[in-house]
Structure formats: C-alpha cells, structure tokens
Amino acid sequence: MNDEGKLVVITGPSGVGKGTIVKALRQKYSNIFLSISATTRLPRQGEVDKQDYYFLSRDEFERMINDNQLLEWAQYAGNYYGTPRQPVLEQINQGKVIILEIEVLGARQVKQSFPSAMRIFILPPSLEVLEQRLRGRGTDSEEVIVKRLTKATEELAVSHEFDYQVINDTLESSIELVEKIIFPDANLKNV
C-alpha cells in the first residue's frame, strides 16, 4: 500500500444514511473512489450490475472467498456482501482516497488487513428514527425490516470500537463532519 493513498471505512446500521453521505462526498471530491461491493442479494429497483454492486450467485461469491479475492466479506440478512480486493489495492497505490461503505463485521476484517484504515461509524439519532427511515425507503418486507433493526441494535453496541462516531441527525452537518474527519486540512465552513 502506498502512503499517499487513504483507506476510509464508513459503517453503521442499514438505513442510517451511509450511502447519502458517501454520495455527497464523491460529488465534491474527484479523488474519492467508492469501492463497489459484491453481493448475493437481488438488485433493488434501479440498481445496475457492476455499477451499484457486483450481483453474484452464492457459488460465484463462495469461489471468490476460497480464492482470497475479497478484502473483506460477511453474511448479512441472509446474503453475502464483500469487497473485491484488486480494485481497492490499485486505487490506494495511485494515491486515491478509497471509501468502503460496508457493515460492521467487514469493517473489523479491514481493520485487521489495513490497521491504518480510518474507520467511521454512522449512528442514527435513535432506533425509532432508524425504523422510520427503513420503513420510509419502501424497499424491504416487514420481515427484513425486523431483521435489520435487530442487527442495528447489535451494531450500535460496538460503535465505540471505531475511530469516529457521527450521529446522522441533520444530513448536512453529518456530511460536513465526515468531510472534516477525512480531510482535516481542508478549509470547510460551518464545521
């Protein structure tokens, strides 16, 4: 790994706003590379293979695990999720900021592989607000929402393990705070 590159892990419960924060940062900074994860879950409406995720069969994913082609991987809500190793390493070696938007178990694996990775945990203001956000998306069944809330409780209990904790209360202030953490020398307003 080249010292110029930076690996940033952003994690937190499903529905907490990780994707929205990352999207805003990518729009502002051209040197940010968002790693595309692989998953065995079905695409949601509008998602595109190799753009939003690499959508794989269980067999394909398990082959990648066995061939050590993933930087991290985990099972979540009945599906596999993971980060293909090679694209991340290439971007780090080019001196780019790589953001991994992944779940907690994956973030722990990255910490082992890259101890210098900056790890940021995004928290909801409360579990009630998180439940409202999950229901408001309209993308999951009741059974999946219940699983995600149960998992969120477990994840929130370990948020203290991460380098930074950001409560996503107001989206704009959360984006600015994450930006200040990643780019501490940038001249940011209202931080």
User: Could you tell me the CATH number of the domain that includes residue 130?
Assistant: 3.40.50.300
What percentage of residues in the chain have a pLDDT greater than 70?
Answer: 95
The yes-or-no verdict on residue 189 having pLDDT over 80 is no
The yes-or-no verdict on residue 146 having pLDDT over 90 is yes
Six-digit token pair at 83? 């980060």
Contacts 24+ apart (CB under 8 A), 178-183: 178/10, 178/21, 178/25, 178/120, 178/122, 179/25, 179/28, 181/118, 181/120, 182/6, 182/8, 182/25, 182/97, 182/118, 182/120, 183/29
- Do the Cβ atoms of 159 and 165 come closer than 8 Å? yes
For residue 59, is it within any domain?
Answer: yes
Structural domain count, the chain? 1
For residue 99, is it within any domain?
Answer: yes
pLDDT in tens, 89-112: 888 889 899 999 988 888 888 888
For residue 188, is it within any domain?
Answer: no
For residue 189, is it within any domain?
Answer: no
For residue 191, is it within any domain?
Answer: no
Structural domain boundaries enclosing 111: 6-182
For residue 29, is it within any domain?
Answer: yes
- Do the Cβ atoms of 56 and 42 come closer than 8 Å? no
Integer CA distances (angstroms), 129 to 11, 125, 133, 157, in order: 17, 6, 6, 17
- Give this prediction's pTM: 0.80
Which pLDDT belongs to residue 152? Answer: 94
